[in-house]
Structure 1
Amino acid sequence: MVLTGPAELLATWEAGLDRDAPGRALLLHRAARPEAGTEALLSVPVGRRAADLFALRRALFGERMQVRVECASCAEAMEFDLDAGRFARPPDDPAFEEGVLRVVEGGWVVDFRLPTVADLAAVARALADPATALDPPGPQQLLLTRCTVAAARDGKPVPAAQLPGALPEKVRRRLAEEAERADPAAEITLNIACPECGEATPAELDIADYLWTELDAWARDVLLDVHLLATAYGWSEPEVLALSPQRRRHYLELCADA
């Protein structure tokens, strides 16, 4: 991974200010994989993108992540640390499966591929379509239809569009288990035990949202540094950004003591 410099990070932040969450996630992914084009980034399995973003977070802000959640039972505010390296995997990690996965269960044979970023975007558009407002399909149904390569029951082909109403629950569970095994970072759910009441609260961690929040705070701090040092020394933004964080902090301390 190419470590993005402060000027490039500020440009990513600025470009994301007027984007929605998927647009910001794409910008962050591009920062993690600058050599990849947009089409390639959108075709990446969801968990691989998450792993890329965890690796970017690790490179930019370190291993330790602070996560805050509210207890679902007593509303106690909880805070805990998470290791970004736990989910940051290189793209050649053997935990990532390639190609088509197969589930054989109860007379069913289902070949499917892992959901990609583009699949999630298509599902979101379909769910927002006014034409489906009266009888909206579930996101899992839409993903099943999009990601099924081929399906057969007792040797007879079954169209992908019929699977949501035809697949037994046991086969659905197998599909979910195989997808999770092949792309473990696609959906990260943490069960947090409350120190007050002892109840466990499930919390989904969206690394794109988490990383954007951190980038936004970092960018605003850096711009404040630029403003203060430009005012004190007459330096340009590129000159301030060229300073290491340690030297920048030292100059800021000198300004405060003056």
Structure 2
Amino acid sequence: MWERGCSLTAAGRALVLAESGGADRGTAGDLPLGRRDAILLSLHESWFGERLRCSVTCPSCQGRLETEVSTVDLRVPAGTGGPVTAAGVELDVRPVSTADLLAAADRRALLVRCVRSARKGERAVPPSELPEEALDAVAAALPDLDPQADVSLGMSCASCEHEWGAPFDIAGYLWAVLDAHARRLLYEIHELATAYGWTEREVLSVGPARRRFYLEAART
């Protein structure tokens, strides 16, 4: 899974992770981002536990802050949808999906994809012809429509007392943890193969505790 995701974009990696978490491979890309991210939170719990260590930069003094959050704290209630009206146009809007992120070339294209239908009075308006004012209203409606896709951590800087909401991306976070885990394992394979002449398969057949022992023995 790690090898497959290395050559992909961030959205592609998130899709690989969601499929590993049980999302159907044929339809995972069409899931709202919030539903996808809920799957990734469960995947983190399964692989690495409920606790997530985070490091953020204060936008005021540029100091580094360390914090720890729980996957439980990162889950938010489902959103509420409804028609969006702007520039005299009534819009039927859906949440953003991973497929949208992969397909859209820019912000406008992304927002247009999220409009199921648009009507001005009795006349249907093609989403591609919507004015910027209408698309800005679509963008403003998305956090309420799919709040799990727009999670922020409430932060307070001890140095300058600045308070702000730091966006949290579970897909990026989980991939970073997985990437570090995979690379550490590859270095262990390299070290043990060099020290003992084992093949990759032979190294991986040894449990983690025994592998640590052999690594320590090889380094003495």
Please classify the TM superposition score into its range, dividing by the shorter chain length. Answer: 0.7 to 0.9
Structure 1 residue aligned with 2:4, among 15, 23, 26? Answer: 15
CA distance in 1, matches of 2:8, 2:91: 37
> Could you tell which deviates more after superposition, 45-54 or 230-239?
230-239
Q: In the alignment, does 2:28 pair up with 1:41? A: yes
Structure 2 residue aligned with 1:26, among 15, 18, 36? Answer: 15
TM-score (norm 2): 0.80
> Could you tell which deviates more after superposition, 72-81 or 41-50?
41-50
- Give the 5 Å matches for 1:150-165: 150-154=117-121, 156-165=123-132
Q: In the alignment, does 2:111 pair up with 1:122? A: no
The residue number in structure 1 matching 2:69 is 82
CA distance in 1, matches of 2:181, 2:175: 10
CA RMSD across the alignment = 3.1
Native 8 Å contact 2:100 2:110 kept in 1: yes
Native 8 Å contact 2:37 2:149 kept in 1: yes
- Give the 5 Å matches for 1:134-213: 139=107, 141-154=108-121, 156-165=123-132, 167=134, 172=137, 176-177=140-141, 179-213=142-176
CA drift at 1:203: 2.2
CA drift at 1:65: 1.2
What amino acid sits opposite 2:39 in the alignment?
Answer: D
The residue number in structure 1 matching 2:50 is 63
CA drift at 1:80: 0.7
Structure 2 residue aligned with 1:113, among 73, 91, 94? Answer: 94
CA drift at 1:197: 0.5
> Could you tell which deviates more after superposition, 62-71 or 78-87?
78-87
Report sequence identity in percent. 38
CA distance in 1, matches of 2:175, 2:191: 24
CA distance in 2, matches of 1:196, 1:248: 43
The residue number in structure 2 matching 1:4 is none
CA drift at 1:164: 3.5
The residue number in structure 1 matching 2:78 is 95
What amino acid sits opposite 1:144 in the alignment?
Answer: L
Distance 1:43 1:70, change over 3 A: same
Q: In the alignment, does 2:40 pair up with 1:53? A: yes
CA distance in 2, matches of 1:114, 1:47: 8
Distance 1:153 1:18, change over 3 A: closer
What amino acid sits opposite 2:82 in the alignment?
Answer: R
CA drift at 1:198: 0.6
Distance 1:30 1:109, change over 3 A: same
The residue number in structure 2 matching 1:229 is 192
CA distance in 2, matches of 1:17, 1:152: 43
CA distance in 1, matches of 2:182, 2:168: 22
CA drift at 1:168: 9.8
Native 8 Å contact 2:74 2:151 kept in 1: no
CA drift at 1:181: 4.2
CA distance in 2, matches of 1:207, 1:168: 26
The residue number in structure 2 matching 1:219 is 182
Query: Where does the alignment leave 5 or more consecutive residues of structure 1 unmatched?
Result: 1-11, 128-138
SS at match of 1:79: strand
> How many residues matched?
219
TM-score (norm 1): 0.70
The residue number in structure 2 matching 1:136 is none
